[in-house]
């Protein structure tokens, strides 16, 4: 199943989340009011990096960062474009927690092609809390044969294959390989589109039923966000009902973002710990997909829920689609956490998670449709 990939994410998130919040306010300390002109700059930045790192260790009593250069003994060269950029815009403090990755990411030749490993580095930094990434002045490589037709269903696999730069992905070099090697990850697009339409167990919420619920509550669903939406199947289905859904998705070594875009949908490359990049009260529906589950540290999950609340309009819907956790924790931890939002329970279905890890860990699934009150 697709879960080993999710685990990577989750472990990274767990590492990041413990300190990301306490660090956030530190980011501004890196900025200096004027771009210094000469040699002292690197030492100055280096000193600040070390101060930040020492503060981090102190605050979190976490394992020390893998690289701890001291300004007197080593002098790693800081890429010129990183220095330049750091005077234009703040850089997230978590970026400085991974100077090795950040320096590698920003070490490139301006005005030429970006280095080939950029995407892996970028995603790795983002997952470590370095988001937004600094901008760069280089050209990203694009597939040699850009799409010449509108997205169709079913997709000819040749159309898809020629629109992905496969050497970024270690395990497969084609969509048929992905569909075979990682069933359930959403790359068999011909079967994907049948999702969200059937009611097999109480944990299912078919789209027609969802829209009916909203309609009978006099609440139009026009715009939604799918959090952790993989290859964008939910958005693709909603598009057929004239509902616009944007999908947040990370790649995890498979071309999720590319596929969402090839389907004519909007992929947002943002991690779960990132503030949703939309204004307050503007969306009608937020769906939390499989990626939102018990692996997310509790405090971070709470911030995620309240950010979802921020973007939902009054009367809008929050849908937990197969959220999973330990059976015990649903009543003690997650139920109360969700309850704090004060939403109306339109649907609340719990069922045993019957795959091997679900049985081993005594996990349950929750599918819940909650409606935000119109006024607080």
Ligand X SMILES: *[C@@H]1O[C@H](CO)[C@@H](O)[C@H](O)[C@H]1NC(C)=O
54 Cβ contact list (under 8 Å, min separation 6): none
Beta strand pairing status for 312-326 and 266-268?
unpaired
Q: Which helix (H) or strand (E) holds 41?
A: helix 40-60
Of 167 and 356, CB closest to ligand X: 356
For residues 291 and 6, what is the distance between their CA atoms, to the nearest angstrom? 7
Instruction: Find the shortest distance in angstroms from Cβ 42 to ligand X.
Output: 57
Write the DSSP symbol of residue 331: I
Of 77 and 242, CB closest to ligand X: 242
For residues 247 and 70, what is the distance between their CA atoms, to the nearest angstrom? 42
Among the residues of 154-232, which ranges form H helices? 157-161, 175-181, 189-192, 207-216
Of 199 and 241, CB closest to ligand X: 241
Of 91 and 223, CB closest to ligand X: 223
Cα-Cα-Cα-Cα dihedral sign, residues 259, 263, 269, 273: negative
| Contacts of the segment 66-75: beta carbons below 8 A, 24+ positions apart | 66/100, 67/99, 67/100, 69/99, 71/43, 71/46, 71/47, 75/42, 75/46
Instruction: Find the shortest distance in angstroms from Cβ 226 to ligand X.
Output: 18
For residues 172 and 254, what is the distance between their CA atoms, to the nearest angstrom? 8
CA distances from 221 to 112, 153, 218, 276 (A): 44, 24, 10, 19
Of 127 and 368, CB closest to ligand X: 368
Of 137 and 215, CB closest to ligand X: 215
Of 110 and 351, CB closest to ligand X: 351
Instruction: Find the shortest distance in angstroms from Cβ 362 to ligand X.
Output: 7
Phi first, then psi: give them for residue 285, nearest 5 degrees: -150, 135
Cis status, amide bond into 328, omega within 30 of 0: no
Instruction: Find the shortest distance in angstroms from Cβ 217 to ligand X.
Output: 18
Which parts of 228-329 are beta strand (E)?
244-248, 266-268, 283-288, 312-326
Instruction: Find the shortest distance in angstroms from Cβ 241 to ligand X.
Output: 5
164: its two tokens: 């992905």
Instruction: Find the shortest distance in angstroms from Cβ 278 to ligand X.
Output: 23
Residues near ligand X, by CB under 6 A: 241-242, 352
Of 109 and 352, CB closest to ligand X: 352
Instruction: Find the shortest distance in angstroms from Cβ 242 to ligand X.
Output: 4
243: its two tokens: 């509902």
259: its two tokens: 């596929």
Q: For residue 368, give the nearest of 319, 335, 327 by alpha carbon.
A: 319
Of 170 and 351, CB closest to ligand X: 351
Instruction: Find the shortest distance in angstroms from Cβ 257 to ligand X.
Output: 26
Instruction: Find the shortest distance in angstroms from Cβ 359 to ligand X.
Output: 8
């Amino acid at each position: 199943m697709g879960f080993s990939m999710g685990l990577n994410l989750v472990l990274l998130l767990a590492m990041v989340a413990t300190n990301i919040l306490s660090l956030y306010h530190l980011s501004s300390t890196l900025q200096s009011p004027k771009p210094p002109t000469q040699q002292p700059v690197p030492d100055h930045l280096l000193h600040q990096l070390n101060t930040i790192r020492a503060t981090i260790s102190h605050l979190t009593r976490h394992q020390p960062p893998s690289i701890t250069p001291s300004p007197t003994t080593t002098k790693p060269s800081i890429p010129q474009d990183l220095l330049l950029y750091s005077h234009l815009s703040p850089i997230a403090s978590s970026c400085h927690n991974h100077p090795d990755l950040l320096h590698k990411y920003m070490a490139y030749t301006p005005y030429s092609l970006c280095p080939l490993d950029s995407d892996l580095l970028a995603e790795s930094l983002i997952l470590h809390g370095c988001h937004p990434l600094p901008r760069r002045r280089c050209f990203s490589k694009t597939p040699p044969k850009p799409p010449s037709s509108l997205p169709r269903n079913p997709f000819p696999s040749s159309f898809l294959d020629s629109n992905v730069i496969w050497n970024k992905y270690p395990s497969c070099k084609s969509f048929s390989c992905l569909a075979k090697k990682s069933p359930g990850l959403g790359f068999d697009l011909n079967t994907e589109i049948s999702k969200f339409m059937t009611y097999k167990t109480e944990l299912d919420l078919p789209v027609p039923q969802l829209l009916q619920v909203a309609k009978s509550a006099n609440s139009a669903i026009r715009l939604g966000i799918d959090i952790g939406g993989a290859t964008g199947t939910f958005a693709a289905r909603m598009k057929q009902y004239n509902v616009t859904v944007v999908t947040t998705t990370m790649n995890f070594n498979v071309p999720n973002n590319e596929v969402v875009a090839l389907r004519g949908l909007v992929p947002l490359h943002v991690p779960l710990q990132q503030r949703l990049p939309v204004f307050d009260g503007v969306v009608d529906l937020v769906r939390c997909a499989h990626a939102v589950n018990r692996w997310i540290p509790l405090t971070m999950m709470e911030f995620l829920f309240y950010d979802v609340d921020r973007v939902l309009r009054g009367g809008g819907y929050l849908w937990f689609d197969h959220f999973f956790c330990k059976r015990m924790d649903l009543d003690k931890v997650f139920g109360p956490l969700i309850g704090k939002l004060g939403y109306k329970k339109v649907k609340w279905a719990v069922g045993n998670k019957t795959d091997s890890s679900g049985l081993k860990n005594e996990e349950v699934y929750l599918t819940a449709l909650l409606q935000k009150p119109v006024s607080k």
